[in-house]
Amino acid sequence: MGDIQAAFSLAANLIFSGDADLFEIVGLSLSVSVTAVAIACAVGMTLGATIAVTRFPGRPAVIVLLNALMGLPPVVVGLGVYLVLSRAGPLGVLGLLYTPTAMIVAQTILVTPVVAALTRQVVEDLHHEYDEALKSLGVKGIGLVRTLIWDARYSLITVALAGFGRAVAEVGAVIIVGGNIDHLTRTMTTAIALETSKGNLALALALGIVLVGISLAVNGAVSGLGGAAGRRRHA
């Protein structure tokens, strides 16, 4: 019991003293996840909104596939990216394996289906609600997609935050393609796993506390923005 209390005390000291190693890991984690989510939103929101407003053969199957991809196993994604970026892979010449770029690629692949599927649902609901009004105004094509994305912007912010929550808590894919290299590719989740196995509970707990804090902040923001979007739509 005393060891655990001492570990919590040391963890708090690491956080409040601004430990350089701790915040280097936090900074890398946030940098990788924010970049991955930004790319995923650019691709996923456009794809999701386009699927929402268009009708084409096989659309139901595409929607089912998109929803299924939300549950992609991270280790499988990590393995796939590893095979592509390894020296024997098609992009091995780029030397991206075991770099933050490889981690961004893996997280982007994981987050994009989440963003696309949630965006499709949000935009499709909005499209049904304003379909007649938009037709009367002659809004169609790319203009229709842009209009609906803009009108759904508050709900789509919650989608982006949900994607960030998925990215920042990821461990399986990033440890495969990043290698958990100190001062280079060590993120909060991979560092927690490593430091716990080494018995360095203080650093593991400090990182865990920061990660939980980030998760709570993201969930609070999602709830707040979701409520604001709902009130705005019914105003």
Q: Is the pLDDT confidence value at 135 over 80?
A: no
Q: pTM for the complete prediction?
A: 0.87
Mean pLDDT for 204-216 is 89
How many helices (H) and strands (E) the chain has is answered by 10, 0
The mean pLDDT value of the chain amounts to 87
pLDDT at 147 over 60: yes
Is 225 or 104 the better-scoring residue by pLDDT?
104
Q: Are the beta carbons of 99 and 28 closer than 8 angstroms?
A: no
CB distance 33 to 194 below 8 Å: no
Q: What is the mean pLDDT of residues 217-223?
A: 78
Cα separation, 13 vs 140, in Å, equals 57
Note whether 72 and 110 are within 8 A (CB).
yes
Residue 111 has pLDDT above 90, yes or no: yes
- 226 pLDDT higher than 80: no
Q: Which residues contact 87 (CB under 8 A, 6 or more apart)?
A: 97
**Quick one: pLDDT at residue 209?**
92
pLDDT at 1 over 70: no
Residue 173 CB partners (closer than 8 Å, separation 6+):
74, 75, 77, 78, 81, 103, 106, 107, 109, 110
What integer pLDDT is reported at residue 232 of this predicted model?
Answer: 59
Residue 106 vs residue 229, higher pLDDT:
106
pLDDT at 30: 93
**Which of the four pLDDT bands, split at 50, 70 and 90, describes residue 158?**
confident
Report which of 199, 162, 161, 210 is spatially closest to residue 28, judged by C-alpha positions.
Answer: 210
Digit-coded pLDDT (tens) for 24-51: 999 999 999 999 999 999 999 999 999 9
Domains defined along the chain, listed by start: 28-233 (1.10.3720.10)
Q: What is the pLDDT of residues 54-67, one digit of tens each?
A: 888 999 999 999 99
Quick: pLDDT tens for 176-206.
999 999 889 999 999 998 888 888 888 899 9
Provide the pLDDT confidence category of residue 121 given band limits of 50, 70 and 90. very high
Which of these, 37, 51, 71, lies nearest to 163 by C-alpha position? Answer: 37
Kindly provide the b/e burial profile for residues 72-103, where b requires at least 16 CB atoms within 10 angstroms of the residue's own CB: bebeebbbbbbebbeeebeeeeeebbbbbbbb
What span, in angstroms and rounded, lies between the C-alpha atoms of 57 and 177?
37
Q: Please, which pLDDT band fits residue 11 given cuts at 50, 70 and 90?
A: confident
Give the model's confidence band at 2: pLDDT under 50 very low, under 70 low, under 90 confident, else very high. Answer: low
The SS3 of residue 114 is: helix
